[in-house]
Chain A
């Protein structure tokens, strides 16, 4: 009951989640993620879909020690607020990095990964995570 993840809910948002498609306001030029049909900044309804850049930098981060049900396997993991190159903000897990090495301002890029495997159904949810830019 507590770890509920519905296949249809996952399925309907998958393309935006795989492609990092957010919203762009045609009134004030605000870019945001996740997509919705009204602008969080000015309230305009003139919103178009916008494929967001795959690179950005870490604004804030946290190492999660008390995961919700279904994420124990990954613990401790890093949740970060990333500012993309066009200014849109994305909430994400960081991967391929030791939690100790994460820093504010760190450059990161998107990567498609397994988000979780759901218990008895065996259903595997994929989505974006971000990893340090390999130079």
Chain B
């Protein structure tokens, strides 16, 4: 069984004076210090957009060299938002060969300075040849799902405000969060449309970030107790039902079964909230709410940090921030801190087990990891 020996993370922000290698260095140093180690046997970099956003490939070799580890084996794993989750799956398998692996999630988006270019970069995750060419974006895909969800369950736009409001509330006490301020329902309603009915307040603002964990075969404070991984059609028109995230359900069940625990044993869950509607669909696919009821349960406080089953105690992608390819490693590093009791100011008291959901695309990939103290 794999253990996490240490973790590090940077504040999610626009780090104008740092390169992608600098960001990776900072998080890696923190994680090595936390694990009290100076030596690792391999490096895995989780990143989504270095090729298109930074014009930088061969990324793992550059990051390893910058760390003074040019001789070590290094890999980059790319699966859009799920890059971090996928890196964990790969690392767990590679532990047969390497005893200690440094996982670094890093994303550098502030080099892309216009809204149109950012829209192009993040929309490289939808199918370029058949969807992107039409002028569709990753946001227009979220918007189509939101419209479908509203119609199917007879919801209004304001029903989607409860989730970002909760995420912003959670982020206030979190030093590494990007957006540490409250928002009101009025501000949500008045927020401009990105792609109707999807509002700016429904989605994260892409940013720079880096997080790292050290994974090992030997015993450590937090264990990877179970992993599940399942995919879904990557092109939206190929999905028989555009709201069916059955792969999230099956990845979750696989991970929970491997961990040998039930949903009542979980002290919190990290989900991949790249839009309010995708958050609701995950909540329902994980069995935390009935279909169409995630908004109501969110409004009633079920998922608050002091609620029945807390979701994203650090503010999630929405408010902690969304460094895309790094986000999965952020979720793991944050969970590690919660389980170790080191989440000062935003701690879930006595947390023992948690689940981390890492999504790529519009759930075209889903990795779930169950962590245990």
Contact = CB atoms under 8 A, between A and B. Distances in A.
B116 interface: yes
Contacts, number: 125
B299 to A, nearest CB: 24
B95 interface: no
B237 A91 contact: yes
B111 to A, nearest CB: 11
Interface residue range, chain B: 35 or more
Contacts of A30: 240
A123 interface: no
B144 A62 contact: yes
Interface string B118-152: 01110100011111111111011001110110010
Contacts of A93: 134-135
Contacts of A68: 116, 119-120, 123, 132, 135, 137
A90 B134 CA distance: 11
B230 interface: no
A74 B133 CA distance: 13
B194 interface: yes
A69 B112 CA distance: 12
B236 A81 contact: yes
Interface string A1-38: 11101000110010000000000000000101110100
Interface of A: 1-3, 5, 9-10, 13, 30, 32-34, 36, 40-41, 59-72, 74, 77, 79-81, 88-93, 104, 115-116, 125, 127
Interface of B: 52, 55, 112, 114-117, 119-121, 123, 127-137, 139-140, 143-145, 147-148, 151, 192-198, 233, 235-240, 242
28 contacts: A2-B52, A2-B112, A2-B117, A34-B237, A36-B238, A60-B145, A60-B148, A60-B242, A62-B195, A63-B195, A64-B140, A66-B119, A66-B139, A66-B195, A67-B116, A67-B135, A69-B116, A69-B119, A71-B135, A74-B135, A79-B135, A79-B140, A80-B144, A81-B237, A88-B237, A91-B236, A115-B134, A115-B135
